[in-house]
Amino acid sequence: MTGVTGILLAAGSARRFGAPKLLHPLHNGLPVAAVAAKTVSQVLANTLAVVKPGDHALIEVFTELGLDIIENPRADEGMGTSLAAGVTASVSNMADGWLIALADMPWIQPATISALLERLESGASIVAPVHAGRRGHPVGFSSHWFGSLAELRGDKGARDLIAENAEAVDLLTTADAGVLRDVDYPDDLYR
């Protein structure tokens, strides 16, 4: 077994942003996606990014950071297909579980990723961060959930799976507001 695999979902359309938001630079000059990828990969050595086919600019960003790339030909069908593509691609690595992160959430702290990983490695079935009473991202899943994750479709990702199995979810309370903060609109970069 190789432990937990990080899966960075980066195949969205960015319709609300109006431009390729994942390539937009943050105040430090790095693209949104690069910051999110660095945070996950500094904790999880085995991290892959799921992108749309032919998204050469994002592929270059992630390749430079050492992430494995999975191109999801069904990305337009929703986040569920990207999550399924990532989980399915990691099977050859014999993953013990997955930490699913979103590439448009660059403000999550490495310590939060580490704490979620620790919970998974300690036997949690599903683990999710909670800040100010709201569940956030990333979310970790043990290998028990492979079949369910591999069959996901639509744009809700694993939201329904989590809701239907609420008793299996280990909630990690955190002071990290980054678990709730994503980039949907240009103004989100500056709030």
Convert the pLDDT of each residue in 5-62 to its tens digit.
999 999 976 566 666 789 888 888 899 999 999 999 999 999 999 999 999 999 999 9
Q: Partners of 97 in the beta sheet?
A: 4, 142
Domain ranges of the chain: 4-13+20-190
**Burial class of residue 29 in the structure, from the number of CB atoms within 10 Å of its CB (0-12 exposed, 13-18 middle, 19+ buried):** exposed
Convert the pLDDT of each residue in 1-12 to its tens digit.
458 999 999 997
pLDDT (0 to 100) of residue 187: 74
Per-position DSSP letters for 62-115, written without gaps between them: HHHTT-EEEE-TTGGG-HHHHHHHHHHHGGGGT-SEEEEEETT-TT--HHHHHH
pLDDT (0 to 100) of residue 1: 40
The structural architecture, per CATH, of the domain 4-13+20-190 is Alpha-Beta Complex (3.90)
The CA distances from residue 182 to 43, 89, 98, 116, 127, in Å, are 20, 26, 20, 19, 19
Convert the pLDDT of each residue in 178-189 to its tens digit.
999 988 766 777
pTM: 0.93
The sign of the CA dihedral 83, 85, 90, 91 is positive
Angle at 44 between CA 17 and CA 161, to 5 degrees: 60
